[in-house]
């Protein structure tokens, strides 16, 4: 895959969350594939998640809500499918089903969503089953872009280089 066709976003900044998390709505316009990584760190004992699913809508209510969001079939932990082990991939297949919702301790969940035929906005919904805080973060990777982003040659990062400042301003000849 051409890395220029991928877009990484921090949908939920690493945080200590009690109850429902508030990740950002993901705008998928212009992309054909989405991966969502839900990373759950240390929590109180082995407290299970009560909600872990993806919803979609054509209308965004705010930066963290959807208007009339509908569950995405195959991406609802504990209902249309379940999760087992220290990591899992959604949607599960009949030959590789998971068995329980994840405990809130050191678990990574990967949702893989084909966006063809999906609605524009997607929102991960995550709720811990405890009144005590759980560390978590959500990272998204949109890929298979319809149009690759354009970067002039001097702006293209190489070998993991991070561009931390804008390129120098261009001046007209003789200016």
Q: Each residue of 26-67: pLDDT tens digit?
A: 999 999 999 999 888 776 655 567 788 899 999 999 999 999
By the 10 Å C-beta count (0-12 exposed, 13-18 middle, 19+ buried), 71 is classed as middle
Q: Would you state the pLDDT for residue 42?
A: 72
Is 70 exceeded by the pLDDT of residue 17? yes
In this predicted structure, what is the pLDDT of residue 5? 72
**Per-residue model confidence (pLDDT) at position 32:** 92
CA atoms of 54 and 123, how far apart (whole Å)? 6
Q: Which domains does the chain have, with CATH numbers?
A: 3-145 (2.60.120)
pLDDT value at 75 more than 50: yes
pLDDT-wise least confident of 2-11, 148-157, 165-174: 165-174
* Integer angstrom CA distances of residue 76 from 1, 45, 83, 124, 164: 28, 23, 10, 10, 38
**158 pLDDT exceeds 50?**
yes
User: Which bin fits 174, alpha (ψ -120 to 50), beta or left (φ > 0)?
Assistant: left
Cα–Cα distance measured from residue 153 to residue 4, given in angstroms and rounded to the nearest whole number: 13
The pLDDT of residue 45: 57
For residue 173, what pLDDT is reported?
Answer: 52
pLDDT at 159: 53
pLDDT band for 165, please (50, 70, 90 cuts): very low
| Per-residue pLDDT tens digits for 95-149 | 444 445 555 567 788 888 999 999 999 999 988 776 777 888 999 999 988 776 5
What pLDDT score was predicted for residue 97?
43
């Amino acid at each position: 895959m051409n890395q220029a066709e991928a877009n990484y976003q921090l949908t939920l900044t690493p945080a200590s969350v009690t109850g429902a998390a508030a990740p950002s709505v993901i705008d998928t316009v212009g992309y054909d594939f989405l991966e969502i990584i839900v990373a759950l760190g240390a929590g109180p004992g082995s407290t299970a998640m009560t909600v872990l699913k993806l919803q979609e809508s054509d209308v965004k209510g705010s930066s963290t809500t959807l208007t009339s969001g509908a569950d995405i079939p195959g991406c609802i932990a504990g209902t249309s499918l379940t999760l087992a082990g220290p990591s899992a991939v959604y949607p599960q297949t009949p030959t590789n089903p998971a068995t329980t919702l994840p405990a809130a301790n050191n678990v990574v969940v990967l949702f893989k969503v084909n966006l063809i035929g999906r609605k524009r906005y997607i929102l991960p919904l995550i709720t811990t089953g405890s009144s005590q805080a759980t560390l978590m973060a959500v990272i998204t990777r949109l890929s298979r872009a319809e149009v690759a982003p354009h970067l002039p040659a001097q702006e293209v990062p190489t070998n993991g280089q991070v561009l931390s400042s804008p390129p120098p301003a261009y001046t007209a000849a003789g200016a």
